Amino acid sequence: MFSPHNFTEKFSSELLSLLSSDTEDAKLLSCVNELAEAHGNTVYNEMLLLMTGKHFGTDLSKIYWHEVIEHSCKIFKPEFAGRGFRPALMDYLCHNAGALSDPRIIEGDYLYNITKSSVTDGLTGLYNQTYFKKVLEKTIFNQRRNDTSTFALVFLDLDHFKQYNDRCGHLLGDEALRICAEIITSNLRDGDIAVRYGGEEFALLLPGLDRHTAFAVAERIRKGVESQPFQTQELLDSGNLTISGGISLFPDSGSTVEEILQTADKELYKAKERRNCIYSFYDDKRSHARRPVKSLVEYATFDGAIYRAALSTDISERGMGLGCESMIAEGSTLSLKFARPYWPENIHITAKVRQVRRKDELVFVGLEFDETLTSVDELLAHHKVSLATSGR
C-alpha cells in the first residue's frame, strides 16, 4: 500500500535531482505527471514543498499544480511554454492564490545540497539521528493503520572503537566509519534506511522484515565488518575491529518510538557484553536459553595447539560458557570435543570466542557455536544420569 512516507523516501531525491539539473519545465511536468499517475496526488504536494518550502496539502496541491499549468499557457506564448512553468508558479501563488507573500529565488543544486546536508551525516553520507527519529515516528503512525505491517530496528555499535581511535589515530577512525557505512548500505534494499546514530553507533530501519530476516541482514553486516582489513587494526587487543548489534521489532517490542528504541538499545547492550555478535529481543524468550551444567570439555585453537581440558559452566543450542586456566583471545575460533564418558557421545564442534574475563586464577570464556547444537537436552539428561550413578 502506498503511503506519503514511502513516496518521500523513494522519490524525494529524484525530484530534487530534476530541480537541480538543467531540466526544462516541459520535461519536469512530464516526469511529475508520470509519478502522480503511478503513486497518487501526494506527488504534487511533495513537489510544491520542494519548490516553495510550504505544505499545501494533497488536494490543494493538485489543484494549484494544474491551475499553474493553465496560467502558464495564458501568460506565455506557445514557443515559451516549455520554459514557463516555474515563473508562472511564482506569479500564480503570489498574485492569484495569495499563497506566497515574500518569495525567494534559489538555485536547484543549492537547494539539493541544503536539503541533503540537513538530513545526512557529513562523514558517512548516512542519514542523521534527527531525521531518523522523524521517519521512525511517521513509520509507526502509518503501520498502526495496517495491523499486518511490521518493521525491524537494528542498533549497531563498533567494538573497541575508542581503543582504535586512540591507538590508530582519528583519521583512520574516520575512515573506518566510512568503510562501515559502505558495508552497511551494500547489504540493504531500496527503501531500507541506514543512519549514523552518533559516534560509532549506527541504526537501521528495515520495513516489512521479521526477526529471522532482520537478523540475517545484521549478521551479514557483522561478518562484513569482521572480515574487513581495517588499517593497523592489529594494534587492538582483540586483533581486529568488529561490530555488535541489537534488534527490536514493531509491534512485538513496543508500539511507540521510545519502546522500540529502548528495546534495541537493551539488546545492543547485551551484545556488547559478548562483542562481535547480534542479539535479538526474542533471545530472552527462546527455548534454548543457557542452562547450567558442569562437565569436562576439551578445546584447542587452530594453530596446531594440543587439546586442553576445561569445565563447562552453562550450555544452550547456540553457545556455552567455559572455565579454563589459559587466556584465550576474544574473537578467536576454538575446536571443541565433547567426549565420553562425560557426554553421551563424542561430538566435535567449532565455536567463536565472544567474551573473555579473568577471575582470580581462572579464565571464563563465552562461546557461540558455529552450528546449532541440537542434542542439548540429551547431553543434559545424560549428565544428570551420570551424576546419579556416580553418587556425586
**Grid cell listed for 285:** 524468550
Cα distances (Å, whole numbers) of residue 239 to 33, 49, 120, 235, 331 = 56, 50, 32, 6, 8
Provide the annotated active-site residues.
Answer: 200
Nearest to 242 by CA among 140, 336, 80, 368: 368
CB 11 within 8 A of CB 39: yes
Nearest to 209 by CA among 189, 223, 225: 189
d(CA 232, CA 187): 25
d(CA 109, CA 374): 58
CB-neighbour burial class of residue 227 (10 A; exposed 0-12, middle 13-18, buried 19+):
exposed
Q: What is the DSSP letter of 92?
A: I
User: For residue 373, how far is the Cα from the chain centroid?
Assistant: 28
CB 327 within 8 A of CB 350: no
Residues contacting 113, CB < 8 A, separation 6+: none
**Grid cell listed for 219:** 549478521
d(CA 182, CA 355): 27
**Grid cell listed for 95:** 498574485
Instruction: Give the amino acid at 366.
Output: G
Nearest to 266 by CA among 155, 140, 141: 155
Does residue 162 sit in helix, strand or coil?
A: helix
